[in-house]
Amino acid sequence: MSQALRMDSDKVSPKIKAPYDVQAVRKRFPALRRMENGMPVAFLDGPGGSQVADTAIEAMANYLIRGSANVHGVFSTSVETDELLLRARAAMADFLGGRPDEVAFGANMTTLNFALARAMARDWREGDEVVVTEMDHRANVDPWISAIEDKGGTVRWIRVDRERLTLDLSDLTSIIGPKTKLVAVGLASNVIGTINDVRTIADAAHSVGAYVVVDAVHAAPHMFVDRDALGADAILFSPYKAFGPHLGVLSVKADLYDRLQTYKVLPQLEERPDKIETGTLNHEGIAGAEGAVKFIASLGEGETTRDKIRSAMEKIEEHENPLAQWVRARLKAIPGFTVYAASDDVKKTPTIAWRVKGMAPRDVCLHALKKAIYIASGDFYATTLAMILGIRASGSWVRAGLAPYTTREEVELLVESMEELAV
């Protein structure tokens, strides 16, 4: 740590009253012991994928060690696999809201969203419309564009206010109308962190009889998610962003789920949740997803698992948000740096995007790597946002994301490393 950074109190990250023991949390993530060139690694690419909690790793290993199997058999390992699936669906319902029999698992969020889009589009007609946003990850854009184009329909866009870096909801009623079948929106931007007013968009969609599909992949590791309170008819999530393994999760409200004509093989069950789950699932990954929810719940207090998750997410916000706010302010103050963030009054996840004048974003990451800081560059599939801001051709952004295990020392090291690039 540089002397200047330590001595000037304005320049030191806020000493928040810790909502939990960060060092104890760090011990639960074996990967955090990793060293690079003799230095401890600062894992600041959480939005690309978090590190995995001990309970998730153990659950995956135990499933394989005790004997894996396919489902619906008479023997113990098969029965245990059926039980695991039931428990994991319940864990995901605890995490996202909704009911266990509304939860489907798949390879990843993108694959599940394509399956959902194909199923929902079966009864769409020429002239129908879908609404997507300029802020979303393309995983919640292209499945809907493909599906509506197949039917000869139209895509409408909710624009991003270029100055405010929030969704422009001023002309929502002219974008969402009687022809709208579906509105797809992200709960939070995986690059600039803006948390969107999903409820207002959902109310507008429902007032014309359209469905709402919410991408919670980026938001869910940083805030308490309640599918029904958001007004989502379907919500998607990826456990590998929240301390679990690579997997996708979809939760669809029963009335929509029951109506879906999914593309499926003949012997596959017609009922929810199985009807959208093609092929054999990733049972060990599903065990890990349950383990990840256990980790999150263990940070909180309350009667039920859902109460514990709510309390844990509040603590995670309390830990992450002041540090992120400090990083944004410090980076903004460095000559030649442009931070892409909505104003302070807009709620954000602890995900920070910036550019350095005259430097390719990838080179900024390589500079950070000299101090074993792991940050990433690119458009992160928020491709539309990078295009409308005119930065895609020049490498888009550098991005850092905080996690519950991120320390003050790590974010100070990041700022110190970036200050070396002052123009």
Q: How far apart are CA 143 and CA 109, in angstroms?
A: 11
Residue 277, SS3? coil
Question: What residue type is assigned to position 211 of the chain?
Answer: Y
139 binds ligand PLP (CB under 6 A): yes
Query: Measuring CA to CA, which residue among 219, 242, 243, 245 is closest to residue 230?
Result: 219
Please select the residue that binds ligand PLP; options are 45, 94, 142, 215, rule is CB under 6 A. 215
Residue 9 CB, nearest approach to ligand PLP (Å)? 35
Interacting residue with ligand PLP among 166, 194, 196, 238 (CB under 6 A): 238
Distance CA 372, CA 43 (A): 9
x/- letters, 57..96, toward ligand PLP (CB under 6 A): ----------------------------------------
Binding mask 144-183 for ligand PLP (x = CB under 6 A): ----------------------------------------
Cα(291)–Cα(92) distance, integer angstroms: 11
224, 225, 169: which is closest to 202 by C-alpha? 169
CA distance 59 to 249: 18
Options 89-97, 107-115, 276-284, 285-293: segment touching ligand PLP (CB under 6 A) = 107-115
The residue (of 217 and 402) whose beta carbon lies closer to ligand PLP is 217
Q: What type of residue is 92?
A: M
Paired residues of 62 in beta bridges:
none
H/E stretch holding 157: strand 154-158
Would you say 240 or 326 has its CB closer to ligand PLP? Answer: 240
Residue span binding ligand PLP (CB under 6 A) among the ranges 75-83, 97-105, 176-184, 211-219:
211-219
In angstroms, the CA 282 to CA 286 distance is 6
**By rule CB under 6 A, what count of residues binds ligand PLP?**
12
Question: Using the rule CB under 6 A, is 108 a contact of ligand PLP?
Answer: yes
Q: Is 137 in the site for ligand PLP (CB under 6 A)?
A: yes
User: Quick one: which of 98, 153, 244, 248 contacts ligand PLP (CB under 6 A)?
Assistant: 248
Burial 268-302 (b: 16+ CB within 10 A, else e): eeeebbbbbbbeebbbbbbbbbbbbbbbbbebbee
Q: In the complex with ligand PLP, which residue's Cβ is closer, 316 or 334?
A: 316
Query: Is residue 218 a contact residue for ligand PLP (CB under 6 A)?
Result: yes
Question: Residue 374 CB, nearest distance to ligand PLP (Å)?
Answer: 15
Interface with ligand PLP includes 251 (CB under 6 A)? no
* Cα–chain center distance at 408: 23
The helix (H) or strand (E) run that includes residue 166 is strand 166-167
Interface residue list for ligand PLP (CB under 6 A): 108-110, 137, 139, 186, 190, 215, 217-218, 238, 248
